[in-house]
Amino acid sequence: MARTKTTNGSTTGANLGFEAKLWGMADELRGSMDSGEYKHVVLGLIFLKYISDRFEQRHVQLVQEMTDPANENYIAEPDERRYATEDRDQYMAINVFWVPEEARWFQLRAVAHQPTIGKTVDDAMATIEHENPKLKGVLPKDYARPGVDKERLGRLIDLMSGIGLNDTEHGSTDILGRVYEYFLAQFASAEGKKGGEFYTPRCVVRTLVEMLAPYKGRVYDPCCGSGGMFVQSEEFIEQHGHKGSVSIYGQELNYTTWRLARMNLAIRGIEADLGPQNADSFLHDLHPDLKADYILANPPFNMSPWGGDRLKTDPRWQYGMPPQGNANYAWIQHFVYHLAPHGEAGFLLANGSMSSNTSGEGEIRRHLIEADVVDCMVAMPGQLFYSTQIPVCLWFLTRFKGSNRFHDRRGRILFIDARKLGTMVDRTHKELSPEDIQRIAGTYHAWRGDPKADEYEDVSGFCKSATLDEVAVNGYVLTPGRYVGAEDVEDDGEPFDEKMKRLTTQLSEQMQESKRLDDEIRKNLKGLGYDVKE
């Protein structure tokens, strides 16, 4: 798939051609509204436009079929044909949401500049929720509130009316998903740290997914944000021909982000159990008995407070009570608790999690290492996130390292130092290329013995398979730089003594040339009448 640079330089994987224009024009209409509020105004309208376009696309297809005598679905009687094209089952059968006539986009456009447009949009959202139970409680219905400028809302509807979001218009089956992803990235950049609560860069998610390769089973994310882990897991599964082989479970604390996730998954036809409401994964675990085959997550970094004072006897703290001032090791133990006997987890944390000894974290880490659940550690490049400059790492855990699908890895941990990978896409952000991701994931697959992977070997400065004894000698610190060593310098075949003599002579010649040029400059300046000191 062609990869397209966005206005801020990041690559999205989409090749639509209008995302940047749509974003720029929409952002101009924001006025004084806070970016966090405006996000839901815009994304709600994009959702409504998309499902209406998809509905109309299906409607046109049905009309064409039913008016063509050569088609098996041909219906001669006009009234009967009109009734058939409005049959809900004709749409729901192919995962097209049913959109009643009063909620269709052309109706909104017709009254876009009426003072009641806010209520009209709210009514359309409510009607669609009523007619599609999967969307109940998901769509935003606050366009009538005074804080939404109705003149700008009408202009935003006009803007979106000029862009088709159906499959045939752009040759893609995930148009809204890609527009969503683009807008989420832009809002994350605009919102600063708040944006990081719900958006993880695509290349980071892709790295996690490529490394874990979640082909089948139960996939869980207890801090799922807008659902990016699930979306990319589904993309990976489809690319490898295993569609329909996973069950998805998630949870999200923030109510508006929980709704975003449900919308994000709904427009892609991804079935997911995100619980009946938003909830705190520590204090109100919505999936208490779930044992997942794969866990992919980006928990909030260094979260405090997190409710640990109310969970001192919780069975999840098998390796030690996490400190109340930092939730990193609470998340790690929450993940381990929810792993199936052969389950695997991949997640992001701040780099401090690899070496911190504060408030007992070092002891918890030692217990995790001695229990042999730590499988791989990856130090990531800096500047990957829009929302924070905190350097991050990837943790990979597993309950079983013995011989099943892979090699016996008991007693060893793979360390990968990927800090030198990635390319700057603008002045402040870096991105991993597909080749970078494949290098990281391929190294992991080779080390654990995937049948189709290459043979593994340590590479100085990049990867090292270390024993638990080596980790113990290093004080149970999991920072890859401690283990991979310095990158090998290519041997050019020139003996050291000869190279030293050559370089010394070269330096002397360069210093003499520098002195000659200085003298020449002074001579020229004196010739121009300047008083130049020797």
What is the spatial distance between Cα 375 and Cα 294, in angstroms, rounded to a whole number?
Answer: 14
- The pair of three-digit structure tokens given for residue 22, joined into one six-digit string: 């749509």
Residue closest to 223 by CA, chosen among 281, 138, 266, 285: 281
How far is C-alpha 390 from the geometric centre of its chain's CA atoms? 17
Q: Are strands 246-250 and 217-221 parallel, antiparallel or unpaired?
A: parallel
Which H or E run contains 517? helix 496-527
Q: What is the pTM of this model?
A: 0.79
Q: What is the pLDDT along the chain (534 residues), one digit of tens a residue?
A: 233 333 333 333 334 456 677 777 677 777 777 776 787 788 888 889 888 988 999 999 999 999 999 999 999 999 999 999 999 999 988 888 999 999 999 999 999 999 999 999 999 999 999 999 888 888 999 999 998 889 999 998 998 887 766 544 443 445 555 666 677 677 766 665 443 344 678 899 999 999 999 988 999 999 998 888 898 888 888 777 666 678 999 999 988 888 888 888 887 778 899 999 999 999 999 999 999 999 999 998 889 889 999 999 999 999 999 999 999 999 999 999 999 999 999 999 999 999 999 999 999 999 999 999 999 999 999 988 766 677 899 999 999 999 878 999 999 999 999 999 999 987 878 999 999 999 999 999 999 999 889 999 999 999 999 999 999 999 999 999 999 998 765 556 667 777 788 878 888 888 888 888 888 887 887 777 777 676
What is the spatial distance between Cα 391 and Cα 351, in angstroms, rounded to a whole number?
Answer: 6
What is the spatial distance between Cα 297 and Cα 392, in angstroms, rounded to a whole number?
Answer: 13
What is the spatial distance between Cα 433 and Cα 420, in angstroms, rounded to a whole number?
Answer: 12
pLDDT for res 8: 35
Q: Are strands 292-297 and 392-398 parallel, antiparallel or unpaired?
A: unpaired
Per domain, the residue ranges of the chain are 19-191, 198-484, 495-534
What is the spatial distance between Cα 381 and Cα 204, in angstroms, rounded to a whole number?
Answer: 10
Contact 16, 172 (CB under 8 A): yes
pLDDT for res 281: 97
Second-level CATH architecture of 19-191: Up-down Bundle (1.20)
CATH of domain 198-484: 3.40.50.150
- The pair of three-digit structure tokens given for residue 2, joined into one six-digit string: 């062609």
Length of the chain: 534
Whether the bond between 305 and the residue before it is cis, its omega within 30 degrees of 0, is yes
CA distances from 337 to 11, 330, 399 (A): 35, 10, 10
Sheet hosting strand 339-350, strand order edge to edge? 246-250, 217-221, 292-297, 339-350, 392-398, 374-379, 412-417, 463-467
CA distances from 228 to 56, 398, 450 (A): 28, 22, 26
Contact 361, 394 (CB under 8 A): no
- The pair of three-digit structure tokens given for residue 168, joined into one six-digit string: 């045939």
Angle ∠(497,502,505) on CA atoms, nearest 5: 125
In a 3-state reduction of DSSP, which class is residue 502? helix
Residue closest to 224 by CA, chosen among 268, 181, 258, 186: 258
- Please check whether the two domains, 19-191 and 198-484, share a CATH topology: no
